[in-house]
């Protein structure tokens, strides 16, 4: 056995006598192949070894030369491995530390493909109170920044090779690379802490939920991931130690239903700009009670979480959020009822600040207590400070003639098809002829299509949904930190609440720190000291 193959055999669960695969040898890490950077964290210089663009698959995707996404246009060099690679940054305190935690940042913004970034650069300066990267380096963690295929990716052949579950498969492949090479890489692949926001929060959640599930093996084999033998069986693990997920855009198969239910149940939806009618919204929302019931979740007090109790549950979470905020610092106050306050909303186009009058929450700042919340006014506030998504929020393409919506519809379907509806209502209401999606093109209702034709579509929805894996025999991460801003309107609060309640009920999960983050919009890593303190505690 050559040294690199000996290395490749580390961390395996396979019995003795197992033959190491050629692709695993191709994925061997070269410990000497780094450049040394100097960055500044809190004014102190830190030397960092940078391993750039480590390709974590043996057969990376061939991408079209020109890609355009929500963050602009990118020119692709296919001699590099931009979509299935990661940058690894090792701070000097971890150069020889085999036990250092690995802070594994996924991207996947917009649920889109993410191309490898520069990440950490020589001369960069960080404040560890506001930068998760700076804080991770300061804490002596190995910082890994991961790219992945996902929707929007155009293949060299014009196809769409980023369809679900590509993002999840790639993230698993990256974990497998770290396990394969654990003995020669600084840090411990047994102490991976995954971090991501929004589309990345979703990717973190499925990665954390579905550890070692054999359902991904064929997808992993297809990309030449580490630890898949010649028979297609897994010989390496891809479970992770912890997840720190912000505003996960997940449970996509049910996100539309939950969204329309939440914003219509009290009549708070402003349907301006939507090409769907209030009747459409009501039809979509109608599926929510049965869905919520099917999850069989419970609130912390032991009572069942159902559509009937959901508004109370959200209200309690909002109260808990505001009280935690007030308690955290005497300087933290919630505006009085009737007081004007400013809200800054970020976004790709820059940030804007607008004034609002608090008409929904009444607190006693001195006692750190919430006195009352008006849920209808709260939901109206959420829906006005950043306009709600139009109906349907996540599966809008093909519905009422719409071919351009930016919703997740292009995450599903075969590589050869631009988009495919993945929810019952949108499938049955697709009226764009020739798009290959919906009752109109296939002649099959959703029920019949999914029963007769769509193992692939079913798999795609399932393999990116943590709710399907938490509480099963998949090796779900034992530690979770989940945050969702109290004014985030990119998905309903129901999604993260359900995720939390499912995690709380999973016996494999030891530590769940869930909270709505007070007055935070759709964003992440806004609470670096708190999140890092949580990580420090769980990795101890
Ligand atoms: C993101 C935001 C969305 O509204 C969405 O549907 C998917 C992803 C994001 O910010 O990553």
Residue-wise pLDDT for 390-407, tens only, equals 999 999 999 999 999 999
Beta strands in 255-331 (DSSP E): none
Name the token pair of 516. Answer: 């709505």
Question: What is the rounded distance in angstroms from the CA atom of residue 310 to the CA atom of residue 418?
Answer: 36
**Cβ of 363 below 6 Å from ligand 1:** no
Query: 133: closest CA among 177, 190, 188, 195?
Result: 195
3-state SS assignment for residue 332:
coil
Residue in 109, 490, 496, 525 to alter for ligand 1 test, most ligand atoms within 8 A of Cβ: 490
Reply yes or no on whether the pLDDT at 387 is more than 70. Answer: yes
For residue 80, give Cα distances in angstroms to 52, 75, 76, 314.
11, 12, 8, 46
Distance (Å) from CA 200 to ligand 1 centroid: 9
Q: Is the dihedral of CA 166, 172, 176, 178 positive or negative?
A: positive
At residue 112, the pLDDT reads: 96
Specify the range with the lowest mean pLDDT, choosing from 131-145, 448-462, 465-479. Answer: 448-462
Distance (Å) from CA 186 to ligand 1 centroid: 33
3-state SS assignment for residue 512:
strand
Do residues 125 and 40 touch, judged by C-beta distance below 8 A? Answer: yes
Question: Mean pLDDT, to the nearest integer, of 346-360?
Answer: 83
* Contact residues for 496 (Cβ-Cβ < 8 A; gap 6+): 247, 248, 482, 484, 514, 516
Question: Mean pLDDT, to the nearest integer, of 487-516?
Answer: 98
Reply yes or no on whether the pLDDT at 446 is more than 80. Answer: yes
Query: 170: closest CA among 99, 118, 225?
Result: 225
**Count of residues making up the chain:** 540
Beta strands in 168-270 (DSSP E): 192-197, 242-246
Residue in 105, 108, 110 to alter for ligand 1 test, most ligand atoms within 8 A of Cβ: 110
Question: What is the rounded distance in angstroms from the CA atom of residue 419 to the CA atom of residue 151?
Answer: 10
β partners of residue 146: 86, 106
Reply yes or no on whether the pLDDT at 3 is more than 60. Answer: no
Q: Which atom of ligand 1 is nearest to the CA of 394?
A: 6
Give counts: helices (H), strands (E), the chain. 17, 16
Residue located nearest, by CA, to atom 4 of ligand 1: 490
**CB-based contacts of 381-384 (< 8 A; 24+ apart in sequence):** 381/356, 381/487, 382/486, 382/487, 382/488, 382/489, 383/263, 383/268, 383/269, 383/270, 383/489, 384/270
**Cβ of 198 below 6 Å from ligand 1:** yes
**Cβ of 196 below 6 Å from ligand 1:** no
Specify the range with the lowest mean pLDDT, choosing from 176-190, 345-359, 435-449. Answer: 345-359
DSSP-assigned letter for residue 363: E
Question: Mean pLDDT, to the nearest integer, of 186-194?
Answer: 98
DSSP-assigned letter for residue 340: E
Question: Mean pLDDT, to the nearest integer, of 477-491?
Answer: 98
Residue located nearest, by CA, to atom 7 of ligand 1: 110
Specify the range with the lowest mean pLDDT, choosing from 35-39, 183-187, 269-273, 315-319. Answer: 269-273
Residue in 522, 525, 526 to alter for ligand 1 test, most ligand atoms within 8 A of Cβ: 522
Reply yes or no on whether the pLDDT at 385 is more than 90. Answer: no
Question: What is the rounded distance in angstroms from the CA atom of residue 36 to the CA atom of residue 4?
Answer: 24
Question: What is the rounded distance in angstroms from the CA atom of residue 25 to the CA atom of residue 177?
Answer: 11
Q: Which atom of ligand 1 is nearest to the CA of 389?
A: 4
Reply yes or no on whether the pLDDT at 336 is more than 90. Answer: yes
Name the token pair of 382. Answer: 């959420």
3-state SS assignment for residue 251:
coil
Distance (Å) from CA 249 to ligand 1 centroid: 6
Question: What is the rounded distance in angstroms from the CA atom of residue 48 to the CA atom of residue 32?
Answer: 13
Residue located nearest, by CA, to atom 2 of ligand 1: 110
Query: 185: closest CA among 27, 36, 29?
Result: 29
Query: 89: closest CA among 10, 34, 131, 29?
Result: 34
Q: Which atom of ligand 1 is nearest to the CA of 199?
A: 11
Do residues 167 and 203 touch, judged by C-beta distance below 8 A? Answer: yes
Distance (Å) from CA 119 to ligand 1 centroid: 21
At residue 347, the pLDDT reads: 61
3-state SS assignment for residue 234:
strand
**Cβ of 109 below 6 Å from ligand 1:** yes
Distance (Å) from CA 247 to ligand 1 centroid: 9
Do residues 46 and 57 touch, judged by C-beta distance below 8 A? Answer: no
Residue located nearest, by CA, to atom 9 of ligand 1: 110
ipTM: 0.98
User: Is there a cis peptide before residue 309, judged by omega within 30 degrees of 0?
Assistant: no
Residue located nearest, by CA, to atom 8 of ligand 1: 110
**Cβ of 255 below 6 Å from ligand 1:** no
With tokens 């299509």, the residue in question is: 449
Reply yes or no on whether the pLDDT at 152 is more than 60. Answer: yes
Distance (Å) from CA 396 to ligand 1 centroid: 14
Biggest CA–CA distance in the chain, Å, is: 74
Q: What is the mean pLDDT of the chain?
A: 93
Name the token pair of 312. Answer: 């109370």
pLDDT tens-digit readout, 75-115: 999 899 999 999 999 999 999 999 999 999 999 999 999 99
Do residues 257 and 285 touch, judged by C-beta distance below 8 A? Answer: yes
β partners of residue 460: none
Reply yes or no on whether the pLDDT at 243 is more than 80. Answer: yes
Distance (Å) from CA 490 to ligand 1 centroid: 6
Residue located nearest, by CA, to atom 5 of ligand 1: 110
Question: Mean pLDDT, to the nearest integer, of 504-530?
Answer: 97
Phi, psi of 382 (to 5 degrees): -60, -40
């Amino acid at each position: 056995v050559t040294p690199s193959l000996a290395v490749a055999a580390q961390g395996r669960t396979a019995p003795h006598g197992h033959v190491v695969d050629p692709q695993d040898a191709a994925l061997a890490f070269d410990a000497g192949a780094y450049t040394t950077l100097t960055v500044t964290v809190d004014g102190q210089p830190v030397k960092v070894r940078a391993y750039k663009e480590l390709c974590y698959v043996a057969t990376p995707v061939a991408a079209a030369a020109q890609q355009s996404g929500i963050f602009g246009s990118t020119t692709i060099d296919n001699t590099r491995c931009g979509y299935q690679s990661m940058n690894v940054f090792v701070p000097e305190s971890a150069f020889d530390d085999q036990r250092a935690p690995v802070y594994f940042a996924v991207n996947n913004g917009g649920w889109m493909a993410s191309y490898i970034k520069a990440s950490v650069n020589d001369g960069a300066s960080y404040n560890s109170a506001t930068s998760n990267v700076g804080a991770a380096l300061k804490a002596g963690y190995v910082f890994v920044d991961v790219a992945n295929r996902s929707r929007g990716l155009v293949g060299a052949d014009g196809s769409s090779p980023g369809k679900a579950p590509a993002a999840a498969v790639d993230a698993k492949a990256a974990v497998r690379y770290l396990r394969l090479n654990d003995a020669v890489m600084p840090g411990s692949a047994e102490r991976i802490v995954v971090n991501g926001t929004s589309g990345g929060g979703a990717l973190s959640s499925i990665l954390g939920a579905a550890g070692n599930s054999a359902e991904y093996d064929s997808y992993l084999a297809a990309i030449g991931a580490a630890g898949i033998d010649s028979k297609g069986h897994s010989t390496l693990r891809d479970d992770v130690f912890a997840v720190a997920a912000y505003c996960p855009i997940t449970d996509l198969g049910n996100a539309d239903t939950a969204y329309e239910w939440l914003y219509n149940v009290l009549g708070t939806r402003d349907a301006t700009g939507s090409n769907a009618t209030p009747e459409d919204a009501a039809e979509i929302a109608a599926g929510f009670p049965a869905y919520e019931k099917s999850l069989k979740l419970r609130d912390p007090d032991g009572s069942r979480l159902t559509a009937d109790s959901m508004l109370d549950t959200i209200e309690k979470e909002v109260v808990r959020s505001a009280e935690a905020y007030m308690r955290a610092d005497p300087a933290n106050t919630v505006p009085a009822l009737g007081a004007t306050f400013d809200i800054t909303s970020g976004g790709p186009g820059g940030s804007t600040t607008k004034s609002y009058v608090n008409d929904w929450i009444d607190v006693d700042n001195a006692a750190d207590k919430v006195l009352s919340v008006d849920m209808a006014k709260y939901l109206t506030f959420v829906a006005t400070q950043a306009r709600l998504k139009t109906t349907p929020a996540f599966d809008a393409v093909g519905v009422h003639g719409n071919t351009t919506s930016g919703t997740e519809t292009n995450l599903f379907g075969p590589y050869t098809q631009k988009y495919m509806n993945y929810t019952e209502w949108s499938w049955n209401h697709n009226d764009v002829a020739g798009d290959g999606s919906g009752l109109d093109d296939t002649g099959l209702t959703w029920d019949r299509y999914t029963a007769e034709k769509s193992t692939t579509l079913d798999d795609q929805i399932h393999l990116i949904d943590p709710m399907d894996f938490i509480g099963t025999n998949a090796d779900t991460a034992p530690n979770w930190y989940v945050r969702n801003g109290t004014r985030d309107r990119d998905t309903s609060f129901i999604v993260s609440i359900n995720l939390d309640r499912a995690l709380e009920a999973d016996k494999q999960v030891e530590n769940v720190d869930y909270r709505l983050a007070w007055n935070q919009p759709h964003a992440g890593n806004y609470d670096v000291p708190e999140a890092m303190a949580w990580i420090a505690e769980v990795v101890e």
